[in-house]
Amino acid sequence: MIEAAGGIIALSFAICVLIIPIWIMTRLFGKPGSAQVDGGAHEEKRKIEHLLGQAEVMERRLQTLEAILDKQHPNWRSEL
């Protein structure tokens, strides 16, 4: 059970810290001018702000999970 929790935390951390920001950057800078051509610049900005909010929520949840694991299993990080 501890190993599964550690794997979930590691995956969540990777998604929050690595994958989501990279995805957002590619969406912002990958297609220059495409949002303006479609007339959806405002919609694109709203989506990005929503995704950033979701990433912050996920980061807080991850921190909460790590705090719980730190209390219940103090050496869980060394077991990964």
Question: Domain map of the chain by residue range?
Answer: 2-75
36-40, Cβ contacts within 8 angstroms, sequence gap of 24 or more:
none
CA distance 67 to 72: 9
Region 61-75: mean pLDDT is 92
What confidence tens digit (pLDDT) does each residue in 15-51 have?
777 777 787 878 877 765 554 555 678 889 999 999 9
Amino acid at 42: H
CA distance 18 to 39: 30
Token pair 């969406």: residue: 27
- Structure confidence at residue 22 (pLDDT): 80
The token pair at 23 is 């995805």
